[in-house]
A and B are shown apart, each in its own frame.
Chain A
Amino acid sequence: MPIPLLDIQRLTVEVDRHSILDRLDLAVQAGEIHALLGANGSGKTTLAYVLMGCEGYVPSAGRVRLDGTDLLPLKMHERARLGLTLAWQEPARFEGVTVREYLSLGKPGCDPEPALKRVGLDPDRYLTRRMDKALSGGERHRIELASVLSMKPKLAILDEPAAGIDMLSIGHIIDIIRALKEAGGSVLLITHQEDVALIADRASQLCAGRIVFSGSPREAVDHFRGQTCVRCDGEVCGYVRP
């Protein structure tokens, strides 16, 4: 096995004294799209926040390395400058800030048009719009992905990038996830949607704070659906054993 791009070892996280992640191990290889499955509340978003270094999400134990560098001592923007980024499950809105400015963050002077086209939004219509409440949820999600793409990250954590996207546009989202990989990056893809999970190279299932299964996306989806979770016996996953 090559040295993973993202190497998580025995990561333990408590939030407000509740154990959320419990000695979690996970590896994402360079150039890999890695899907992360798991029931609601299993800790996927928490893992994303801990990796990105969000306030209040400090692990009590464990180690995380990105491309060989210890992530945990670093501040959020330092992690971003190493090539890590996160697209939130519910992206923030910004009064006054234009889509053009938002897409050029961190890369001043870059041309935001290709990324916007890639997510299926017409630059003529969207570049001058504000990132405020007037954007629909789906539009906001797509712009978030475009901003991740124009950053060319080593590892993008996408938290349910297809949530709220209309049926016909899922293709654009899948396309942009693939574009991240084509640009040489890796993706940790948190998703509840089977058709999105199946584009991954590998997939893992999170349950009760640990990875309970890793394999091909087909196998992971079947494992999740099959209610054969070795860790919780189906209880935390919410399924009854057949």
Chain B
Amino acid sequence: MSDLEHLMRVLPMVGAEPAILDDTGIAHVVAQGHHILSRRTVPGLRVELEETPGALIGQIVVEAGVTIVQPIHLCFGLTHPTGVQQIAIDVHVQEGAQARVLSHCLFPVAQAAQHRMQAMMTLGSGASLTYTEGHYHGLHGGMQVLPHATIKIGKGARYFSDFSLLSGSVGNLDIDYLVEVEEEGLAELSAKIFAHKTDRITLKESVILRGERSRSLIKTRVVLEGDASAEITGITEAHAKGARGHVDCMEIVQGRAHASAIPIVKVFHPEAKVTHEAAIGSVDKKELETLMARGLNPEQAVELIVSGILR
């Protein structure tokens, strides 16, 4: 089986279909390690990526005023148990442009491998970007996954990100996002992670609300079982009049797993406001008992509650 076939076979695990490669209306890049296996672009979208021995480097530009109708698919992965994939990519959504990116990270057989993503994203004024990243990992664990990104959101621009790692065991996951939001900009960061075995999760999301009436929401849902552990840090700083931020973090801990949540809230303007809520613990007893009173056994009840939270 070719590397491309290998990656396409597991694509449905993150909710996408291999048929996207044949659709001329859909832009895509598929890369195994530092080799691009398939690519396509559409009008208004520039994809400039370069294969180097140490990394895949380049930029993706959505030109000013352009709306890319279909989501842009980025499939990155490793088809071998070991290896390194390093991606340094800039994403520029120029003024008034709109796009959705679906990033599929596929590591079906990885055991002692590394995936590093160093991204710089800029959204011009009035632009909109939805960035959805879905991970599929096999059951081995043992990987180092390091998605790091700096995101600059221009005046009135809107950025939505949704990270999910819901199947398989990852190993070490270290997410670090820094988001700066200008006047009337909006940032919504959502992350959903299901960690098993000895997975170690570090998630740091920092939002700096620089502009007046800028807004942000950080929503994190982490479920841990086995010996997994997580440290979640959500930082929101509000620097201008009318800036509003909210942090909503929920972690469910089962088995011998352990978790911590560190919400950091800083407000530098009297007319700004940041709120946060964090809940860490086992599955809510009342929710559990309600389901058992409908006939679900404890395992079925926990499964339903957890799947709801990670949806």
Binding site for B on A (CB under 8 A): 52, 54-55, 75-77, 79-81, 85-86, 88, 91-97, 101, 105-106, 131, 147, 151
Query: 1/0 per residue B117-131: CB within 8 Å of A?
Result: 000000000000000
List, sorted by A's number, 21 A–B pairs whose CB atoms are closer than 8 Å.
A52-B293, A75-B292, A76-B293, A77-B295, A77-B297, A85-B293, A85-B294, A85-B295, A86-B293, A94-B305, A94-B308, A95-B308, A95-B309, A95-B311, A96-B310, A97-B305, A101-B304, A105-B296, A106-B294, A106-B295, A106-B296
Query: 1/0 per residue B244-285: CB within 8 Å of A?
Result: 000000100000000000000000000000000000000011
On whether A92 and B293 interact (CB within 8 A), knowing A77-B298, A97-B304, the answer reads no
Among candidates B290, B298, B307, residue contacting A92 with C-beta atoms closer than 8 Å: B290
Among candidates B295, B298, B305, residue contacting A81 with C-beta atoms closer than 8 Å: B295
Which 6 pairs from chain A and chain B are nearest by CB?
A96-B308, A106-B295, A96-B311, A80-B295, A97-B308, A76-B292
On whether A80 and B307 interact (CB within 8 A), knowing A88-B286, A92-B284, A92-B287, the answer reads no
Excluding A76-B292, A92-B287, A105-B294, 15 further A-B contacts by CB distance (< 8 Å) are A52-B289, A77-B295, A77-B301, A79-B293, A80-B292, A85-B293, A85-B295, A95-B309, A95-B311, A96-B310, A97-B305, A97-B308, A105-B304, A106-B295, A151-B294
Residues from chain A with Cβ under 8 Å of B301 in the complex: 77
> Once the chains are docked, how many angstroms separate the CA of A86 from the CA of B301?
16
**Interface size (B, Cβ < 8 Å)?**
23
Residues from chain B with Cβ under 8 Å of A55 in the complex: 285, 289
Is the CB–CB distance between A96 and B289 below 8 Å? no
> Once the chains are docked, how many angstroms separate the CA of A147 from the CA of B296?
13
Among candidates B286, B287, B296, residue contacting A77 with C-beta atoms closer than 8 Å: B296
Residues from chain A with Cβ under 8 Å of B287 in the complex: 92-94
Residues from chain B with Cβ under 8 Å of A105 in the complex: 291, 294-296, 304
Residues from chain A with Cβ under 8 Å of B298 in the complex: 77
> Once the chains are docked, how many angstroms separate the CA of A186 from the CA of B83?
64
> Once the chains are docked, how many angstroms separate the CA of A86 from the CA of B286?
12
User: At the interface, is chain A mostly helix, strand, loop or mixed?
Assistant: loop
User: For residue A84, which residue of chain B has the nearest CB?
Assistant: B293
> Once the chains are docked, how many angstroms separate the CA of A81 from the CA of B293?
9
Among candidates A79, A81, A91, A95, residue contacting B290 with C-beta atoms closer than 8 Å: A91
Is the CB–CB distance between A151 and B295 below 8 Å? yes
> Once the chains are docked, how many angstroms separate the CA of A77 from the CA of B296?
6
Distance in Å: Cβ of A103 to nearest Cβ of chain B: 10
Residues from chain B with Cβ under 8 Å of A81 in the complex: 295
Distance in Å: Cβ of B270 to nearest Cβ of chain A: 29
Distance in Å: Cβ of B305 to nearest Cβ of chain A: 7
> Once the chains are docked, how many angstroms separate the CA of A86 from the CA of B309?
24
> Once the chains are docked, how many angstroms separate the CA of A75 from the CA of B296?
11
Is the CB–CB distance between B309 and A96 below 8 Å? yes
Which has the most chain B C-beta neighbours within 10 Å: A79, A80, A91? A80
Among candidates B290, B308, B310, B311, residue contacting A88 with C-beta atoms closer than 8 Å: B290
Among candidates A54, A93, A147, residue contacting B289 with C-beta atoms closer than 8 Å: A54
Residues from chain A with Cβ under 8 Å of B307 in the complex: 96
Residues from chain B with Cβ under 8 Å of A95 in the complex: 250, 308-309, 311
Is the CB–CB distance between B310 and A77 below 8 Å? no
